[in-house]
Amino acid sequence: MSIIDSLAKRRSYYALNKELPVPQDEVIKMIEELTELVPDAFNMKSARVIVALNDKQDALWDAVYEAFGGKVSREKIDGFKAAAGTVLYYIDTDVVKALQEQFQLYAANFPVWANQANGMLQIAIWTALREKNIGANIQHYNPVIDEAVAKLFNIPKNYSLIAQMPFGGIVSEPAPKEKEDISLRVRIEK
Ligand SMILES: Cc1cc2nc3c(=O)[nH]c(=O)nc-3n(C[C@H](O)[C@H](O)[C@H](O)COP(=O)(O)O)c2cc1C
């Protein structure tokens, strides 16, 4: 599959279940491989990934529900809990700080670059999951959930939570997207 085909198939899948079409170990290996392959500024390797599976997946979304004290509906949270797992994306702020100290002229850029690299990792994993017929979506319940998740998974203090990506078997396809006039956003000069 070309990268364009793969990116075209990647969508936000909200109707997910626990039936992965491939063995769990294959998904874990793929996430590890992509974390190694995706680049980062100055090769700083700032991204950290926690993959919650099985009971940990359920405990995660129960903790998210509790953290919001009922302000997010049980039904909505149960939609994410119904997935097979969740990829939690973090930035190791110690790594970013060390680079800021080492290269002071660029100090302001390092947190931005770390976020960009994290986004690159997110799209890589999101797309690669879909290549394996696994659906995923991306959520941002941070920072409300940070403390609860840190306690649940013994997350180091220097990890900053960036995004949560539930993934699982695809229950239904999202509605097709409208084709846009891309000339409004891409201009070719030649
Ligand atoms: C950086 C970023 C943040 C997003 N945050 C959320 C989010 O917090 N909750 C959510 O349901 N979807 C979130 N989305 C999903 C977008 O709404 C979705 O990707 C967009 O509408 C295009 O739809 P598609 O993913 O089906 O192509 C986010 C997407 C990106 C790229």
Q: Is the CB–ligand 1 distance for residue 8 below 6 Å?
A: no
Q: What is the pLDDT of residue 27?
A: 98
Assess if residue 48 is contained within a domain: yes
Q: Does residue 79 lie in a domain region?
A: yes
Whole-number pLDDT of residue 171: 98
In a domain, 181, yes or no: no
Predicted TM-score of the model (pTM): 0.98
Check residue 1 and give its pLDDT: 76
Q: How many domains does the chain have?
A: 1
Identify which of 43, 47, 82 has the alpha carbon closest to the alpha carbon of residue 62.
82
Q: Which atom of ligand 1 is nearest to the CA of 123?
A: 31
Q: Which atom of ligand 1 is nearest to the CA of 13?
A: 26
Ligand 1 midpoint to CA 140 (Å): 10
**What's the 12 CA to ligand 1 centre distance in angstroms?**
7
Alpha-carbon distances of 40 from 21, 44, 66, 161, 164, rounded to whole Å = 31, 6, 34, 17, 20
Q: What is the CATH number of the domain that holds 151?
A: 3.40.109.10
**Residue 131 covered by a domain:** yes
Structural contact between residues 28 and 167, judged by C-beta atoms closer than 8 angstroms: no
Q: Ligand 1 centre from 74 Cα, in Å?
A: 21
Contact by Cβ (8 Å): 60, 52:
yes
What whole-number distance in Å separates Cα of residue 64 and Cα of residue 112?
Answer: 26
Query: Crossing angle for the helix pair 93-102 and 109-131, nearest 10 degrees?
Result: 140
Domain annotation covers residue 190: no
Q: Given this model, what pLDDT does residue 66 score? A: 98
Expressed in angstroms and rounded, the spacing between residue 66 Cα and the centre of ligand 1 is 23
- Taking only the tens of pLDDT, the chain with its 190 residues reads 799 999 999 999 999 999 999 999 999 999 999 999 999 999 999 999 999 999 999 999 999 999 999 999 999 999 999 999 999 999 999 999 999 999 999 999 999 999 999 999 999 999 999 999 999 999 999 999 999 999 999 999 999 999 999 999 999 999 999 999 999 999 999 9
Instruction: Please report whether residue 179 resides in a domain.
Output: no
Q: Which domain, by its residues, includes 100?
A: 14-172
